[in-house]
């Protein structure tokens, strides 16, 4: 049985259609990555699965009692709110110190339990959020651009850690990412989203699909070269279909590195 | 002499009860950046006072109803395209002005107006005291019951959803608690200074707290101290009681700020 399954799902936000006709499923133990340009509805899809957004059309079915561990894209903690890492891990349900330390170790954030959340670096903050998500013993771990603001080695290490966590806990992982090459290598299945599902399948399949190349063709040459050499020279075709998003994305991507 | 003792005792108990409920709620007001929201709700309560006097119902009931209506209205309007601070500024002061105009239509009330604007803690009756303590106990029980859910929703609404908590429901809980605190605090500090009783103890407590719970407890201690010291100062120096309480709270805030600076420089 799938953990989550959607049928012909549509979402309107503020009078604008953000998602349309999305059929999506994720099975136990899978790592699925959603890629797509800015504003393509990636975060909305995740928030829908978490339950923070209600579908406007279509249906969403979650496995009964599904335990979700969620790492949001951004978490701003107001400086007026004092919060130790230990207390953060215990929201909304308090956890024993031993369990908290174990989750921190798994997430690579050992020894941070007594620090204030606002004193953590970007990478430490992300790992603490991961630790908190792990504490619910999730069947489905949802990560929204978890490596935003991390440098290349940092994000590579983060994805390796996700892979280890999956191996240890056997949970499914659903994530959104901009770092196509790193993420695609780490995924079982990739979904390319742009308001609707453009294409999906094994990473190799998606990377060579014309729909994907139309969106990312100009932005990911180097990245794709790492991934599949034989497609290096077909970018003229991709350019013809290129959206502006592709360029935006390219800049954002390079800046992040 | 016994009479004197008893009105001072009643005043002290009223101040302590209000401060105990206002301070932890005030932490959420500070964390969620709802300071103006508290102001708007409190100012609207004067309209409730006018209605209560006109309809000859209890002041507490009238203030509670209007504060609740105001808080719900603001909650509903938030995130609908208006800049929140502008909207709240409009509503807070309009509600106050409408309330003051409404009161002026009632004959024989003008003399009492100061009591509702700045509180009249020395005139707290046994019934008032009962209402204040029931209201305070209700707010504290509500906050204790929803504490974790409220904190999670305050941290991030999506995080709350993922944990099976509905942030809108938690917002309603806070809205209701705020209306109750406003209604019980009118007698103690008056509508103009209720927001001060919410925010200043919480802001002062931030300097010493490393967890949300400790901040709530420290805020309550600072609030209670302010109420008692303010009452004593008012009695000793013959100053208005509500403003005296707020002055002591403000002094605590300044001292806390200095203490924080001093410890930082040492570290």
Tens-place pLDDT, residues B116-163: 888 888 888 888 899 999 999 999 999 999 999 999 999 998 899 988
pTM score, two decimals? 0.84
Report the number of secondary-structure helices (H) and strands (E) in chain B.
11, 0
**In this structure, what token pair is assigned to residue B12?**
């002290």
> B114 and chain A: CB distance < 8 Å anywhere?
no
Q: Which of B163, B166, B198 has the most A C-beta neighbours within 10 Å, making it the best mutation to test the interface with A?
A: B163
Of A77, A82, A99, the C-alpha closest to A90 is: A99
Put simply, the answer to whether B152 touches A91 (Cβ < 8 Å) is yes
According to DSSP, the β-strands at A189-193 and A31-35 are: parallel
Residues 6+ apart with CB under 8 A from A88: A117, A128, A132, B155
Question: Which residues on B lie below 8 Å from A75 (Cβ)?
Answer: 155-156, 159
Inter-chain Cβ pairs, chain A and chain B, closer than 8 A: 69
pLDDT at residue A240, rounded to an integer? 37
For residue A218, give how far its alpha carbon lies from the nearest alpha carbon of chain B (Å): 34
> B34 and chain A: CB distance < 8 Å anywhere?
no
All domains in chain B, ordered by first residue: 3-259 (1.10.3470.10)
**Dihedral class, residue A41 (left if φ above 0, else alpha if ψ from -120 to 50, else beta):** left
Tens-place pLDDT, residues A119-146: 998 888 989 999 999 998 899 999 988 8
pLDDT at residue A226, rounded to an integer? 40
CB nearest to B211's CB, from A69, A72, A82: A82
Put simply, the answer to whether A52 touches B30 (Cβ < 8 Å) is no
Q: Is the complex ipTM more than 0.95?
A: no
> B249 and chain A: CB distance < 8 Å anywhere?
no
Of the two residues A24 and B54, the one the predictor is more confident about is A24
């Amino acid at each position: 049985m799938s953990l989550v399954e959607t049928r012909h799902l549509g979402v309107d936000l503020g009078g604008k259609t953000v998602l349309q006709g999305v059929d999506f499923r994720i099975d136990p133990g899978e790592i699925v990555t959603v890629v797509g340009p800015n504003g393509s509805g990636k975060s909305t899809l995740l928030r829908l699965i978490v339950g923070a957004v209600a579908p406007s059309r279509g249906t969403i079915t979650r496995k009964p009692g599904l335990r979700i561990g969620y790492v949001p894209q951004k978490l701003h903690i107001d400086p007026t709110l004092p919060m130790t890492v230990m207390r953060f891990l215990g929201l909304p349900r308090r956890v024993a110190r031993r369990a908290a330390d174990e989750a921190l170790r798994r997430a690579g954030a050992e020894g941070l339990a007594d620090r204030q959340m606002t004193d953590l670096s970007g990478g430490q903050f992300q790992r603490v959020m991961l630790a908190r998500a792990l504490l619910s013993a999730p069947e489905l771990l949802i990560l929204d651009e978890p490596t935003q603001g991390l440098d290349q080695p940092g994000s590579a290490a983060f994805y390796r850690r996700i892979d280890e966590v999956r191996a240890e806990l056997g949970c499914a992982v659903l994530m959104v990412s901009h770092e196509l090459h790193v993420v695609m290598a780490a995924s079982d299945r990739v979904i390319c989203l742009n308001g609707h599902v453009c294409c999906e399948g094994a990473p190799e399949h998606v990377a060579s699909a014309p729909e994907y190349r139309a969106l990312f063709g100009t932005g990911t040459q180097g990245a794709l070269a790492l991934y599949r050499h034989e497609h290096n020279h077909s970018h003229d075709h991709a350019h013809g279909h290129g959206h502006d998003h592709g360029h935006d994305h390219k800049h954002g991507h390079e800046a992040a590195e | 002499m016994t009479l004197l003792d008893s009105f001072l005792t009643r005043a002290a108990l009223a101040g302590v009860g209000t401060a105990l409920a206002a301070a932890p709620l005030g932490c959420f007001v500070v964390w969620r950046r709802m300071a103006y929201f508290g102001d708007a709700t409190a100012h609207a309560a004067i309209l409730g006072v006018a209605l209560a006097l006109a309809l000859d119902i209890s002041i507490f009931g009238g203030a509670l109803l209007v504060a609740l209506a105001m808080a719900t209205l603001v909650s509903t309007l938030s995130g609908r395209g208006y800049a929140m601070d502008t909207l709240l500024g409009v509503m807070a002061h309009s509600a106050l002005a409408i309330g003051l105009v409404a009161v002026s239509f009632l004959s024989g009330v003008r003399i009492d107006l100061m009591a509702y604007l700045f509180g009249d803690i020395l005139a707290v009756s046994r019934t008032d005291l009962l209402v204040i303590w029931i209201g305070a106990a209700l707010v504290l029980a509500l906050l204790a019951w929803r504490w974790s859910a409220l904190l999670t929703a305050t941290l991030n609404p999506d995080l709350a959803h993922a944990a099976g908590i509905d942030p809108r429901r938690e917002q309603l809980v806070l809205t209701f608690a705020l209306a109750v605190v406003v209604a019980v605090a009118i007698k103690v500090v008056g509508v103009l200074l209720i927001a001060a009783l919410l925010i200043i103890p919480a802001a002062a407590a931030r300097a010493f707290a490393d967890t949300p719970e400790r901040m709530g407890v420290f805020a309550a201690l600072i609030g209670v101290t302010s109420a008692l010291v303010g009452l004593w100062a008012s009695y000793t120096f013959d100053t208005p009681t509500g403003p005296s309480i707020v002055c002591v709270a403000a002094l605590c805030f300044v001292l806390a700020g200095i203490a924080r600076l001093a410890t930082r420089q040492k570290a």
